[in-house]
Amino acid sequence: MICLCLQPRSVSEAGRLLESSTGPACAVELRLDGMETPAVEGILPVRGRTVIVTVRKREEGGAFRGTEEERLRILAGAVRLGADYVDLELSAGEKAAGGLREEIARRGGQTKLILSFHDFAGTPAPETLRGIVLEARRMGADVVKTAVTARFPEDNLTLLDLLRFGAARGIPMAAHCMGEAGRLSRAAAPLFGSLFSYAAPSRGKETAPGQFTAHEMTVLGRLLGYEP
């Protein structure tokens, strides 16, 4: 499933971006950390789209400048307002993940929890990545997301093999390599079971290095024989 990454600067801009985000994307990731005053009120609920809410902290490539308590309150608010997924970094810790799981349970379990791991320096060893996937699952992840940086072509193979590792254990995953050297993994990840293919709405609107546009992902999917 193509996931269109949107990074609004205000509630009103979020509404405009959602209204104009037509095309091949089946889901949207709302990156609220780019907002001057991040909030979900006035944005959610969104009808007719699968919505992932993310408030990415600076240590993991985001722009959020508030406290961790504020950030977790925003994600809890997204749960209350019916987001399909909320994305929390694995580094936030077990207490934070547990708090969101409790909020999800109070709301009937409709929202799914993504626990994400990012490495902007390189690609960890396969055994390290497998341990990260298992730890995220143990902490209650409905979906495990891993985004690492490809420095060499073979790093793409490491991430694609990680998707096979997750699939063999029944662990829903989204995984890709960032950077120009990692574009192969972005194109091929759906073939190995990645739930989401994160894509930009247009060139120049990327939220991560090496990201394809939604149109490019659609073309690649058709060329490789899958429906993104």
β-bridge mates for residue 144, sequence order: 115, 173
Q: According to the model, what pLDDT value does residue 227 have?
A: 79
CB 214 within 8 A of CB 25: yes
- What does the buried/exposed string (b/e) look like for 204-219 if buried means 16 or more CB atoms within 10 Å of the residue's CB? eebbbbbbbbbbbbbe
Residues serving a catalytic function are: 118, 145
Q: Got the DSSP string for 38-53?
A: ---BTTB--TTSEEEE
CB 29 within 8 A of CB 2: no
- Domains of the chain with bracketed CATH: 2-224 (3.20.20.70)
Q: Exposed, middle or buried, 133 (CB in 10 Å: 0-12/13-18/19+)?
A: buried
Name the region of 23 (left: φ>0; alpha: ψ -120 to 50; beta: rest).
left
**Residue 118 to residue 92: CA distance in whole angstroms:** 12
Helix ranges, the chain (H)? 11-20, 68-80, 94-106, 126-138, 154-168, 183-188, 214-224
**Residue 29 to residue 51: CA distance in whole angstroms:** 6
**Residue 7 to residue 202: CA distance in whole angstroms:** 12
Q: Exposed, middle or buried, 161 (CB in 10 Å: 0-12/13-18/19+)?
A: middle
Please report, in tens digits, the pLDDT of each residue of the chain (228 residues total). 999 999 999 999 999 998 887 666 689 999 999 998 999 999 999 988 899 999 999 989 899 999 999 999 999 999 999 999 999 999 999 999 999 999 999 999 999 999 999 999 999 999 999 999 999 999 999 999 999 999 999 999 999 999 999 999 999 999 999 999 999 999 999 999 999 999 998 898 898 899 999 999 999 999 999 877
β-bridge mates for residue 89, sequence order: 116
- CA triple 161-142-183, angle to 5 deg: 35
